[in-house]
Structure 1
Amino acid sequence: MTRDRLLIISYSPLRRDARVLRQIRLFAEDYEVTTVGYGPAPDGVADHVQIPDEIIYWHKDRRLLAVRAYQRMYDRMPVTRFLRERLETGGHDIILANDVDTVPLAVTLSPRKGVHADLHEYSSRQLEERRAWRLVVAPFIRWMVRRWVTRADSVTTVGAGLAAEYAREFGVQAEVVMNAPHHRSDLAPTPVGEPLRLVHAGNGVATRLEVMLQAMDLITGGATLDLYLIDQGDGYVPGLRRRYADHPAVRIHDAVPAGEVVPTLNGYDVGVYSLPPISFNFRWALPNKFFDFVQARLAVLIGPSPEMAALVREHDLGAVAEDFTPEAFAAAVDAFTAEQVAAAKEAADAAAAVLCAEQQVAGWAEPIAALAARARR
């Protein structure tokens, strides 16, 4: 029996994009999967169209952007022109388009059975803290959602807060597929350390780290913090290395490969993240690292971000700081007892079988299967 041809498009380095890799792993066995993205072909795909690194997907004609000639601008973007020369219109049965930017291309490629859009952010408010972006770029993204995402046959996004806002603002009905990694059945909670060992892994960005870093000078119970950071090339991470070179409680590490993050975290006690809600997406964040903490069987300490806080409370995973200040974060760390942390790590062990990709990917499998069941157009 001939397998349906599934095209997965993402303007990201695919081998480092955990969410897209989960899609590929899910569909590679039952579909003939072709991928489009930056970097070499991921494992398990039938074909791959590699976007050259010199083609920056978000580069736009500023003149056309300013006069809001959005369709002409999108059609003239280097990434759009490059891919339309290499992808056959009507050449695939189904297209899974990741993020808003890829959806207009996916729809106009006219797949025989339909388009599924997976929206990783609330794109029209992604950088709303920047005035120029809010005034110039956000209207273009809202146009893409209204004109093109509404034409997708089915839609998913990463959290309930984003799904509710897509429905409210655009009438887009999106199901939720959380950014949970695959279940690590080989891991178990480790004994609680003395002093308490806090850990965080992710991008080296000041807005995501400074609350926790400043709190380390306020903590009285002796807890330590290890950071595994992806250097963004802006000088911030090297600056942290100098700033904390002699600090007794803070250690800055290089990032570890994606497949090693969870086993590395497993040696600690509490996964920590305090993300001040400077934008809509920050407020409603439900990131990979939260689920990495769970798979690593850690207790979890976060700021009062609604999506993360709901899961912490539902599964008894740890604690939610009173607010997003260093003082509140430090108070929450100092309030932990070894017994509470041990109980939270055991709760994470139970939740790991629920908050995992194996449970979440049904949110992709079902709509793609529904498209595959359509008679050929």
Structure 2
Amino acid sequence: MNEKKNVLIISYSPLHRDPRILRQIQALKDDYNIQTLGSTSPNVDDVDFFWIPDMPKCQNMFQKIHLGLQIVFRKYKKVLSRNLNIETLLSYKYKKPDCIFANDWNGLYCAYMLKKQNNWSCRIYFDAHEYFPAYRNTIRWKIFERPLVNYALHLCRKQITYMTSVCPTLARMYEKYFKFDKGFVKIILNAPDYEKDLVPTRISEKIQIIHHGGAMRERQLEKMIDMMKYLPADKYELTFMLVKNDASYYETLVQRASKFSNIKFHDPVPFNEIPSFINMFDLGVYILDTEIINHRYALPNKFFEFVQARLAIAIGSSPEMRDYTKKYNLGVSARSNQPKDLAEEILKLSKEDIMLFKENSNKYAEELSAKKNVFDLKKIADMIIK
């Protein structure tokens, strides 16, 4: 019997709650020996784990100025080595990988350095996920962070054997950025596991609306609070289930919502329990500001979790989410990301309309699940290891 090949999965994220990484492990662990690099262990049996320490903090103003000057004078390799803990990661005793799954730009750079310094001959699959060359719009990002990302991506370009992103628009943008042939960057959707036992629930007297995810200021979640100004309290109720990524922002949202009798906050549940928990609701809602490119073309986990929960969907003007909503007749989208515009679309819906959308989520739940992703990830490994 042939000995199993080795795959190294790299992500600068908490692996135990990163759906992408857990899906990659799920897809490969039966056929490959899996090693992982991340900020927390994935807690999966028979999977090796190596720890990525947090990025070192500057202890004083002098260190901050010194670091900033290194970026200004293009000492990118030094800064990346420090920020990404490359020296520490080079010290670990890995099984020589036959393939590396590199997640996000920093995972790609880490894969490049490990391969180069250890003289590994393996190929690299790059899961780019979002579009990192335009990740944010802040001055700090443009001056101090984007140069590092661009340097890392261009340095690693020729090491990419296979690459995916989360939606067609971002895939085409990456092809243009890297000067790859059209179609080189494939799509792996942010879809969760198929929830075969869930069915649409009956609509209660009030339409139950849910939004779940992270409390992040740049997402402007207050727009969904403001949407409730236009929805009668006796007919509609909104529940937020938020991870407190930004505790002060979370409290701002709670305070803003306190004047509404029909807005509630619920503690988050483990990510793999989200579809079964929100199955009791009727309408999954998301207004995401489109100023940032990755927000404009977002096709996030929560969209597909709404589907697995068998909910109807109501979104703003995000084009990728809108296209899927329209293609599968899952709900409604607004002409803009203004709260009033989405409220107007929701007000047009009868309970029968909402029930039809919930039934369509049920109809397409398997197609819009991770089942195909798991197959594709295994296929990617098989192809680039051969």
TM class by smaller structure: over 0.9
**3-state SS in 2 of match to 1:101:** helix
RMSD over aligned Cα, in angstroms? 1.9
**3-state SS in 2 of match to 1:119:** strand
Counterpart-to-counterpart distance in 2, 1:63 and 1:81: 21
1:210 aligns with 2:222: yes
1:167 aligns with 2:167: no
Number of residues of Structure 1 aligned to a counterpart in Structure 2: 369
Say which of 302, 310, 319 aligns to 1:306. 319
Counterpart-to-counterpart distance in 2, 1:7 and 1:178: 21
Change (3 A) 1:54 1:102: closer
**3-state SS in 2 of match to 1:109:** helix
Counterpart-to-counterpart distance in 1, 2:187 and 2:158: 17
Shift of 1:105: 2.1
Letter in 2 for 1:200: H
Counterpart residue number, 1:185: 196
Counterpart-to-counterpart distance in 2, 1:227 and 1:208: 13
Moved >6 Å (runs of 4+): none
Counterpart residue number, 1:231: 244
Counterpart residue number, 1:50: 51
Contact 1:35 1:45 in 2 (8 A): no
Contact 2:68 2:144 in 1 (8 A): no
Letter in 2 for 1:123: F
Counterpart-to-counterpart distance in 2, 1:372 and 1:7: 12
1:109 aligns with 2:114: yes
Contact 2:216 2:246 in 1 (8 A): no
**3-state SS in 1 of match to 2:343:** helix
**3-state SS in 2 of match to 1:367:** helix
Counterpart-to-counterpart distance in 1, 2:35 and 2:372: 24
Contact 2:53 2:85 in 1 (8 A): no
Provide, for residues 303-344 of structure 1, a one-character-per-residue CA deviation record: whole Å limited to 9, x for no partner: 111111110001000101121001101101111110100000
Contact 1:200 1:227 in 2 (8 A): yes
Counterpart residue number, 1:134: 142
**3-state SS in 1 of match to 2:85:** helix
Counterpart residue number, 2:208: 197
Counterpart residue number, 2:60: none
Provide, for residues 200-258 of structure 1, a one-character-per-residue CA deviation record: whole Å limited to 9, x for no partner: 11011243412211010121372110000111244121233333345211001121111
Provide, for residues 108-142 of structure 1, a one-character-per-residue CA deviation record: whole Å limited to 9, x for no partner: 32343311111121011111x21231233212212
Contact 2:56 2:83 in 1 (8 A): no
Counterpart-to-counterpart distance in 2, 1:238 and 1:216: 18
Counterpart residue number, 1:85: 91
TM-score (norm 2): 0.91
Gaps of 5+ in 1: none
TM-score (norm 1): 0.93
Counterpart-to-counterpart distance in 1, 2:337 and 2:256: 22
Counterpart-to-counterpart distance in 2, 1:363 and 1:135: 37
Say which of 320, 342, 349 aligns to 2:355. 342
Counterpart residue number, 2:131: 122
Change (3 A) 1:52 1:77: closer
Contact 1:195 1:223 in 2 (8 A): yes
1:20 aligns with 2:30: no
Shift of 1:161: 1.0
Letter in 1 for 2:235: G
Shift of 1:50: 1.7
What is the aligned-residue identity percentage? 30
Letter in 1 for 2:188: V
Letter in 1 for 2:185: A
Letter in 2 for 1:112: S
Letter in 2 for 1:30: D
Letter in 2 for 1:204: A
**3-state SS in 1 of match to 2:325:** helix
Shift of 1:54: 6.6
Change (3 A) 1:223 1:51: same
Contact 1:25 1:44 in 2 (8 A): no
Counterpart residue number, 2:61: none
